[in-house]
Amino acid sequence: MTAKSNLVFYATFVVCTVFGQQPDYLNVDLPLEKRVNDLVSRLTLEEKVQQMMHNAPGIPRLGIPAYNWWNEALHGVGRSGVATIFPQAIGLAASFDEDLMFRVATAISDEARARFNAATAKGYHLQYGGLTFWTPNINIFRDPRWGRGQETYGEDPYLTAKLGVAFVKGLQGNHPVYLKAAACAKHYAVHSGPEKLRHEFNAVATPKDLRETYLPAFKALVNAGVEAVMCAYNRTNGSPCCASPLLLTEILRKEWGFKGHVVSDCWAIADFYNGHNVVNNAAEASALAVKYGVNLNCGNEYHALLEAVQKNLITEKEIDEALTVLLRTRFKLGLFDPAERNPYNRIPADVINSPAHRALAREAAQKSIVMLKNNGVLPLRNDLGKYFITGPNAASVEVLLGNYYGVNPEMVTILEGIAAAIHPASQLQYRQGIMLDRPNANPQDWTTGNARNSDATFVVMGISGLLEGEEGESIASPYFGDRLDYNLPRHQIDFLKKLKEGHNNPVIAIITGGSPMNLAEVHELADAVLLVWYPGQEGGHAVADVIFGKVSPSGRLPITFPKSLEDLPPYEDYTMKGRTYRYMQVEPLYPFGFGLSYSTFSYSAIRLSSGEVKRNQSVDARVTVTNTGKNTAEEVVQLYLSTPNSRHIAPLFKLSGIKRVKLPPGASAEVVFTLTPDMFAVIDNNGNPVVEPGPVRVYIGGALPGPRSEALGAARSQQAVFTVKK
C-alpha cells in the first residue's frame, strides 16, 4: 500500500472510529457536491479560514494532510527541483503551434504528477510541491517595456487564446473524473506593467479594448474548462481586480459561467489597503475579496476573516460558500480518494527529464527560433576549418531559462550545442569577450581579432533575466524588471562592429531575450540574425540544429518589434490605439508574424466558398502552399481579416487562422480555413460584437500582410474579398 493509500486509510480509520461509519467526504460513490459539503460542515471557522490560504495546514483529527496551493509550471515544472525546461512561454508562442503546445503541457503535467507522487510517498507537502499550477500567463504583451512579457504568448488575443487553451488541456488531462493537474488563467485582467507600480496602479480600459483585446483569451480558457483564475494586483477602471464587481461577478461568474476557483495574486489583498487605499485594514480587505468571489488567498491576509466575522463584515455562510468552491479542486485532483482509483498516481518518476521529454524540448526550441536576417550564409557547413564563438551569453545557463524555471542536470548552452555539432576536424575557439550589461573594465582586447582568422563567427548577445523579468527577480534591472531603454547595451553593438572589421567572413548574431529589442544596428552589421529567446535546456542543441541546417528555422514573431519606443503611446496608457500590429500605423522594425526560412514558399490565389454571405453564415477560404525552394521546411500559414468600411474603429488586421505545413522541395498542400461570423465581427464602443454589412478582406500568407514583411523576405500575402449582406 502506498503512502497515499495509507493516508486515506488512516483518515477513514480515524473518522470511522469516532463516528462509527465512513464520512461522506471519503465516500467516492457520492456526488462531488455532497462530499465537499460534508467536509466543510466538519470544519471549525478557524479551520475554514486556514484552508482558504495558499499554505493550508493539515487537519489531523480528520486525517487531512497539509496542502500548499502555490506551484508554477510556466515552461516546465518550476522551483521544485529537476524538471524538463522547455523554452520560455514567449518562445513557445513563436512556434505558432497548438499541437506542440499541447504536447509540451502534457509532458509538464506528467512530470508534475510524478514529482507529486514521489513527494507524497515521502510525506512532503512543501510549497511548489502541489498540483495546482498558477499558469498560463495569458495577459496581452501590449508594450515591449514590460519585463514579464516573456511569460506571455505575445500581443495577439487570437494566438494567445489558441495556445493557452492547448496548454490548459495538456496540463489538466482528459480523464472523465480526475484532473491530472489544475491550470490557472492569470492575471485577470488588464495587467501588463509597469512592474514598479503594479501594487497601486489603475489600468483604464474602454469597453471596446476590454472585449476586443484584454478579455478574449480569458474567455476562451474558461470555455475550455480551466480550473482556476488568478486576479491581478492592479486596479482596472477603478476597482482592485481582486474585488471587481465587473470582472469577477458580472463577467467571470455570471456571463461566462466560470465554476472553478479564483486565487489572488500573492499578497494582492494587502494592496487593498497598502496601495489602492480602498479599505483600511486586512479584515475589511479579506471580507471584500471573499464577497466578490476570491476563494483562495495567496498570502496571509485571510487570517483576518475571523475578525471580519466578529465585526459582521462577512458571515460564516459566505465563507462556507467560498471554501466549497475551492475544495472542489482538491477533490477533482483525487486528493481525498484511494490512490488506486486515480491513474495519474501511477505516473513514475522516470518520466522526469526523460529522453522523450528532452527530445520534445529540443523540438520546441527548434520551432521557437526566429531567423530575422540571412544574406545567404546560413545554413553553414559544420566542417569548416575554424569557428569562433563569443559574446556575453554564449556560455550562459541564465539565458536558457527566462523566469519561473526548474533546474536540470543536463543544460546545453549555445557554446556547448555548437561545439557538439561541428566536425572533429574543425577547430572551435571561445572567448566571452564582453560582459552582459556594462563595458569591460579592462580595455585589453584579446577577442575581436579572432573573427578575422575564423571561417565563421557566432556572437551570442542580447539580454537575460538579469535585465528583464518580474519585480525583485531581475537584479541588474534599474526598473524593477521592466526595460525602459529599448536599445541593447551600447557596448554590445560596439563589440559587434569590431568583430566585423577587416574581413568578410560570416558573422552570425544569436540574440537572446524575451521581449522586443532595437536590433536595427545588429541587422545592418550581421550577416545573419537569429532570435532564440530563452530556449530552455536543449537550447544549445536547437541553435546548432538551425545553424548547420539540420532543421530549417520556422519560428514567427508573436509580437511587433517597433523601431523605437517613441513610436508607441506612453507605457501607462492601456488604450490600444497605436499599439500592436492591430492598431500600429507606423512601420515596424520587424512585423508580427515574421520569420525567415531556408526555403521559399508561394501561395496560390485564395478560393472562397462564397463571395457573399449572410451575417450568420460562415465562409471557407482555401489556398495552395508550395515549397519553391531547395530545402524541406515548415511554413506557418497565417490568415488575417480586415473590415475596411466598418462604421466602428476596427483593427487594421486581425489574425484569425494559423496552420503549420511541412513540405519537401516542390511539394504543395491545400490549406483550408473556416471563417465564422464571430471572426469577422467588429467590437463596437460598448464592447459588443457587431457583424456589419460590407466587404471583408481576407489575407493569407507567411507573415503580417504589408510592405515591411515583403521587404524583409516574407512571401507576399494573397488577398480576397467577400461581402456580408445587409
Of residues 88, 219, 77, 207, the one with CA closest to residue 141: 88
Q: Active site residue: 111, 151, 265, 301, which one? A: 265
CB 261 within 8 A of CB 226: no
- pLDDT band at residue 12 using 50, 70 and 90 as cut-offs: very low
Residue 265: active-site member:
yes
pLDDT score recorded for residue 20:
59
Q: Specify the 3-state DSSP secondary structure of 412.
A: coil
611 CB-contact burial (10 Å; exposed 0-12 / middle 13-18 / buried 19+): exposed
SS (H, E, C) 644-696: CCCCCCCCCCEEEEEEEEEECCCCEEEEEEEECHHHHCEECCCCCEECCCEEE
pLDDT at 637 over 50: yes
**What value does the mean pLDDT take over residues 100-123?**
98
Percent of the chain with pLDDT over 90: 96
| E strand segments, 394-506 | 427-431, 456-462
Domain residue extents for the chain:
355-559, 601-724
pLDDT digits (tens, 9 = 90+) for 456-497: 999 999 999 999 999 988 999 999 999 999 999 999 999 999
End-to-end CA distance of the chain: 69
pLDDT digits (tens, 9 = 90+) for 171-211: 999 999 999 999 999 999 999 999 999 999 999 999 999 99
**What value does the mean pLDDT take over residues 29-37?**
98
Segment holding 387, helix H or strand E = strand 386-390
pLDDT at 1 over 60: no
Q: Specify the 3-state DSSP secondary structure of 294.
A: coil
619 CB-contact burial (10 Å; exposed 0-12 / middle 13-18 / buried 19+): buried
pLDDT at 10 over 50: no
Q: What cell was used for 602?
A: 508561394
pLDDT digits (tens, 9 = 90+) for 357-373: 999 999 999 999 999 99
**What value does the mean pLDDT take over residues 509-533?**
98
CATH topology of domain 601-724: Immunoglobulin-like (2.60.40)
pLDDT digits (tens, 9 = 90+) for 643-654: 999 999 999 999
Beta 507-512 vs 528-533: how paired, if at all?
parallel
pLDDT at 17 over 70: no
Beta 261-264 vs 228-231: how paired, if at all?
parallel
Q: How far apart are CA 319 and CA 325, in angstroms?
A: 10
pLDDT score recorded for residue 726:
87
Residue 505 one-letter amino acid: N
pLDDT at 355 over 80: yes
Residue 572: active-site member:
no
Give the Å distances, CA to CA, from 62 to 16, 126, 129, 377, 386.
10, 20, 22, 68, 69
Query: Any residues with CB less than 8 A from the CB of 652 and at least 6 apart, and which?
Result: 581, 582, 583, 584, 585, 642
**What value does the mean pLDDT take over residues 567-593?**
98
Q: What cell was used for 642?
A: 480586415
pLDDT digits (tens, 9 = 90+) for 364-405: 999 999 999 999 999 999 999 999 999 999 999 999 999 999
- pLDDT band at residue 5 using 50, 70 and 90 as cut-offs: very low
DSSP structure class, residue 133 = B
Instruction: Give the lowest-confidence range in 4-13, 338-347, 607-616.
Output: 4-13
Q: What cell was used for 151?
A: 511569460
Provide the mean pLDDT of the chain: 96
Phi-psi map region of 588: left, alpha, beta (phi>0 left; psi -120 to 50 alpha): beta
Q: Active site residue: 97, 155, 227, 468, which one? A: 468
Q: What cell was used for 128?
A: 511548489
pLDDT at 516 over 80: yes
pLDDT score recorded for residue 625:
98
CATH number of 355-559: 3.40.50.1700
189 CB-contact burial (10 Å; exposed 0-12 / middle 13-18 / buried 19+): buried
**What value does the mean pLDDT take over residues 655-664?**
98
pLDDT score recorded for residue 9:
38
Q: Specify the 3-state DSSP secondary structure of 625.
A: strand
pLDDT score recorded for residue 21:
86
Percent of the chain with pLDDT over 70: 97
Residue 542 one-letter amino acid: A
pLDDT digits (tens, 9 = 90+) for 276-303: 999 999 999 999 999 999 999 999 999 9
pLDDT digits (tens, 9 = 90+) for 607-623: 999 999 999 999 999 99
Buried b / exposed e along 665-698 (16+ C-beta atoms within 10 A):
eeeeeebebebebebbbbbbeeeeeebbeeebbb
